[in-house]
Amino acid sequence: MSIEKLLFEKLEGHFVEKVFPKGVKVKVAPQALLKSISHNFELDLHVVEQASYSAGAVPERYIRNLNTFSQVEQAKLFSSKVAMVGLGGLGGHMLESLARAGVGHIVACDGDIFEPSNLNRQFLSSESTLLMKKSAAAVELVKNVNPAVSFEVESQFLEGDQFDKFISGADIVVDCLGGLQHRSQLKDAASRNNIPLVTACVAGWAGIVATVYPGDASPADFFGDNDGLEETLGTPIPAISTAVGIQSAEILKILSGKGAGLAGKALMFDLSGMIFDTVTL
Amino acid sequence: MKIKLICFGHLTVYHSNNDCLEIPDGSVTSDLPVLLGFPAKDVAMYFVGEQRVSADHEILNEDVVKIFPPITGG
Task: Judge whether residue A131 has pLDDT over 90.
Answer: yes
DSSP H/E element including A162: helix A162-167
| Cα distance from N-terminal residue to C-terminal residue, chain B | 38
Q: How far is CA A152 from CA A23, A52, A61, A170, A176, in A?
A: 39, 23, 21, 12, 16
Mean pLDDT of chain B: 96
Going by pLDDT thresholds of 50, 70 and 90, the confidence category of residue A225 is confident
Q: At what angle do helices A237-256 and A71-78 cross, to 10 degrees?
A: 110
Tell me which of B17, B50, B71 to substitute to probe the interface with A (most A C-beta atoms closer than 10 Å): B71
Share of chain A above pLDDT 90, in %: 92
Q: Is A22 exposed, middle or buried (0-12, 13-18, 19+ CB in 10 A)?
A: exposed
Closest to B52 (Cβ–Cβ): which among A183, A204, A280? A280
Could you tell me the domains of chain B? 2-68 (3.10.20.30)
Contact residues of A toward B, CB < 8 A: 86, 88-91, 175-180, 183, 200-208, 219-220, 222-224, 226-230, 232-233, 235, 240, 268, 270, 272-273, 275, 277-281
CB contact under 8 A, A224 and B41: yes
- Beta-carbon contacts of residue A242 (< 8 Å; ≥ 6 apart): A207, A269, A271
Going by pLDDT thresholds of 50, 70 and 90, the confidence category of residue A228 is low
Going by pLDDT thresholds of 50, 70 and 90, the confidence category of residue A62 is very high
Q: What is the pLDDT of residues A6-21, one digit of tens each?
A: 999 999 999 999 999 8
Cis peptide before A67 (omega within 30 of 0): yes
DSSP A185-248: HHHHHHHHTT--EEEEEEETTEEEEEEE-TT---GGGGSTT---SHHHH---HHHHHHHHHHHH
Which residues in chain B touch residue A179, judged by CB atoms under 8 angstroms apart? 72-74
Question: Exposure pattern of A214-251 as b/e (b: 16+ CB <10 Å)?
Answer: eebbbbbebbeeeebbbeebbbbeebbbbbbebbbbbb
Q: Is B68 on the interface with A (CB under 8 A)?
A: yes
Q: Is A62 exposed, middle or buried (0-12, 13-18, 19+ CB in 10 A)?
A: buried
Task: Judge whether residue A226 has pLDDT over 80.
Answer: no
Tell me which of A94, A227, A277, A278 to substitute to probe the interface with B (most B C-beta atoms closer than 10 Å): A277
Which residues in chain B touch residue A88, judged by CB atoms under 8 angstroms apart? 74
Q: Is A209 exposed, middle or buried (0-12, 13-18, 19+ CB in 10 A)?
A: buried
CB contact under 8 A, A178 and B73: yes
A174/A108 Cα distance (integer angstroms): 9
CB A255 within 8 A of CB A77: yes
Mean pLDDT of A33-38: 97
Sign of CA dihedral A116, A118, A121, A127: negative
Closest to A206 (Cβ–Cβ): which among B9, B41, B52? B9
